Chains A and B, each alone.
Chain A
């Protein structure tokens, strides 16, 4: 039973993914994440990580500069809002295209090298974009403050169609539906589902097989007379377009583009998301993105008052001790928790959270195992609990 090149379990995975995404507001509210902004971030960074995974998970090329594509996507989207229209569709189309163009140029140069040399080249390009955007390119990027909408923006298409936003600053809207709050989330969610579908197709296609071959042994591929670089470059551009789209969506849900989106730490973040979730797996990067964004937004918000309430059942001395101990890891200490989590995951679950899920399932289903942890393609195929 195959349809569009995907078998039944693929379709089940896809439908399950779509349902979970769309039901996000309900599923995530028990853990305090069921509010629009964080849900939007889940979806957007999910797209970013999915795209990164097409490059890193399949070909093994570790890029340290993907945040640059996210950043140019955001700038493009905001400029589209300013110059053309507040409708998000042109914004994300342009953001994706510009993300693709940037990645084509940077990828073409960087892919001349492999290994850590490739990583440093991508890092260098991204840092140049960031440093210039922060300082001398301020006329285009508005530097530290970030590119914002103003009432004086031309918005030629909106004007041509007679839309007038009056004295207030406009927010982007899809034919009248305001792109903030839950509608904004559903817009991003639908995009995430589309991107997931594309990723699934790539994973299952001959092209995806070729990319895996690039990872497993590039030399041997070259000896067969096949030039692998066009394949790697295509993967690089696709992932750059995903990043551009994610950047565009960031601007759609919140029309402000700042340079720090392009800093190397932001590039590092998407690497962490992908590896944390499980590089080379389908769902892993999305899960990893969710976990990191959850930490950033929820763990950082715990303060002493909240902790005191959490431990209020304990005797007073113990309560104070526990509050002091816990406050090392939450609130201003949330970075510590994140760092420790990375270490624990990498040490004990090299395949990321997806491997953890698979092990858990094996434990329960008592299946005889036999799947090597390194076989990521196989892992992706079998580990499909939504």
Chain B
């Protein structure tokens, strides 16, 4: 026994000596202060970090995002049929990578939790040398990772995040968003709701009780009340409530004739299914047909609600049935590779990857401030949303917004939504100062 201890002690001493010797240089070189900017690519490759939910409620959405990213990398490196690179108005990318470097990528799991998402992003930055982080399927995660990327000095290209705060109150110079937000949803839905349901309506809101839900509720209230609608009540529901019947039954006798479900994901699937079960879709109130509105639609989630989505209005960032050249090219290359059409999450992530690569190519560098300058006030077309502006003042894309409706006679299980109207960009624009927040300066690490 004592012999063992002796051995161990010598061993420990040795380890300690080696430890101190080796630790010193690592500490001082690891952060790469000598380089021009954080994770400056030195060899023939550059690494993108794809941070998507792989476990938890949004895992399918995350898987679709990952597919889109892999497709984008393939196209940037010159593989496949080129997809939307052929229709993209900027022709800077040559199909030989970015700035002469082949694009590689690393992946991570956000678990749709801020902590896990930040840990995953940190791993990509600290260990894998990622030059840019992109992805995500919720606003909480997007805002958390955006803040991290700002501190670390890399660019963040937001994935699916719909809250105003991402490019409003919590905007950061290193963060960019292609997806639309609740403000645009409200502005786009307003006129369509007026045309379909008139101006004399009373709305009842069920709202997921967290920041995105409140933001969505606020925007819809603002635009419907402008039309002359009244708001009977706005009730907060716990996230992941499962059974919403206790929140739905009070709607029956409230005198309201429109139900607005400010829910997303599983909450949306369940609350919509149950609202239809309680006969709200077929109900008559005040001599008018009762209506249900889901402000943010996701085709993947609408599939989960099945036939309950029929005739229900909502807004979406993009839909695969669009007939412009960009959308057709994207659906074709995605569908041929994977056998089914892409979701809006896939589309926004593909676009973000392409937009980032293109900006690096045009800037001739990967330095965040340089790339940011190339993205700011960049006007482009051919990525499926018509002419689009990446506004410099808040790093938010402005483009047409789709108002969609659950399809009455779907031809396949992917064909659940139909585009009712394309609200033009001018109608959903707002001044950057409206949502507050400060971009601050770029951080190059």
Q: Classify A-B as touching or not with yes or no (CB < 8 A).
A: yes
Residue B337 interfacial (CB < 8 Å) = no
Please determine whether A301 and B143 come into contact, CB atoms closer than 8 angstroms: no
In chain A, positions 160-201 with a C-beta closer than 8 Å to chain B are: 167-169, 171, 180-183
Please determine whether A16 and B115 come into contact, CB atoms closer than 8 angstroms: no
Please determine whether B15 and A300 come into contact, CB atoms closer than 8 angstroms: no
Please determine whether B15 and A19 come into contact, CB atoms closer than 8 angstroms: yes
Among B126, B170, B212, B440, chain A packs the most CB atoms within 10 A around the CB of: B126
Residue B63 interfacial (CB < 8 Å) = yes
Contacts of A145 in B (CB 8 A): 114, 139-140, 143-144, 165, 170, 211
Residue A23 interfacial (CB < 8 Å) = yes
The interface bits of chain A over 295-327 (1 if a CB of B lies within 8 angstroms of the residue's CB, else 0) are 011101101010000000000000000000000
Contacts of A385 in B (CB 8 A): 8
A35 with B140: in contact, given A25-B23, A26-B26 (CB under 8 Å)? no
Please determine whether B54 and A169 come into contact, CB atoms closer than 8 angstroms: no
Please determine whether A300 and B30 come into contact, CB atoms closer than 8 angstroms: no
Residue A205 interfacial (CB < 8 Å) = no
Q: How far is the CB of B232 from chain A (nearest CB, A)?
A: 21
Please determine whether B18 and A26 come into contact, CB atoms closer than 8 angstroms: yes
Contacts of A303 in B (CB 8 A): 66, 106-107
Contacts of B119 in A (CB 8 A): 37-38, 41, 296-297
Contacts of A35 in B (CB 8 A): 30, 122-123, 126-127
Residue A27 interfacial (CB < 8 Å) = yes
Q: How far is the CB of A207 from chain B (nearest CB, A)?
A: 28
Q: How far is the CB of A291 from chain B (nearest CB, A)?
A: 15
Please determine whether B210 and A135 come into contact, CB atoms closer than 8 angstroms: yes
The interface bits of chain B over 136-173 (1 if a CB of A lies within 8 angstroms of the residue's CB, else 0) are 00111001100110110000000000000100001000
Task: Find the A residue at minimum CB distance from B3.
Answer: A365
Please determine whether B27 and A256 come into contact, CB atoms closer than 8 angstroms: no
Chain B binding site: helix, strand, loop or mixed by DSSP? Answer: helix
From the candidates A167, A258, A298, A335, name the one contacting B114 in the complex (CB within 8 A).
A258
Task: Find the A residue at minimum CB distance from B209.
Answer: A135
Residue A356 interfacial (CB < 8 Å) = no
Contacts of A131 in B (CB 8 A): 238
Please determine whether A301 and B16 come into contact, CB atoms closer than 8 angstroms: no
In the complex, the number of residue pairs spanning A and B with C-beta atoms less than 8 Å apart equals: 163
From the candidates A20, A254, A365, name the one contacting B148 in the complex (CB within 8 A).
A254
Please determine whether B211 and A301 come into contact, CB atoms closer than 8 angstroms: no
A300 with B22: in contact, given A256-B114, A261-B115, A385-B8 (CB under 8 Å)? no
Task: Find the A residue at minimum CB distance from B26.
Answer: A25
Residue A90 interfacial (CB < 8 Å) = no
Residue B102 interfacial (CB < 8 Å) = no
Task: Find the A residue at minimum CB distance from B50.
Answer: A303
Contacts of A144 in B (CB 8 A): 138-140, 210-212
Contacts of B238 in A (CB 8 A): 131, 135
Task: Find the A residue at minimum CB distance from B212.
Answer: A144
Residues on B lying within 8 angstroms of A by beta carbon are 4-5, 8-9, 12, 15-16, 18-20, 22-23, 26-27, 30-31, 54-55, 59, 62-63, 66, 105-109, 113-116, 118-120, 122-123, 126-127, 138-140, 143-144, 147-148, 150-151, 165, 170, 209-212, 236, 238-239, 438, 440-441, 443
Residues on A lying within 8 angstroms of B by beta carbon are 9, 12, 15-16, 19-20, 22-23, 25-27, 32, 34-38, 41, 131, 134-136, 138, 142-146, 148, 151, 167-169, 171, 180-183, 250, 254, 256, 258, 260-261, 296-298, 300-301, 303, 305, 331-332, 334-335, 365, 385-386
The 5 closest A-B pairs by CB, nearest first: A23-B19, A332-B54, A37-B122, A144-B210, A144-B140
17 contacts between A and B (CB under 8 A): A20-B15, A23-B16, A25-B27, A37-B123, A134-B209, A144-B139, A144-B210, A144-B212, A145-B143, A145-B170, A148-B170, A168-B441, A256-B148, A300-B120, A303-B66, A332-B63, A332-B109
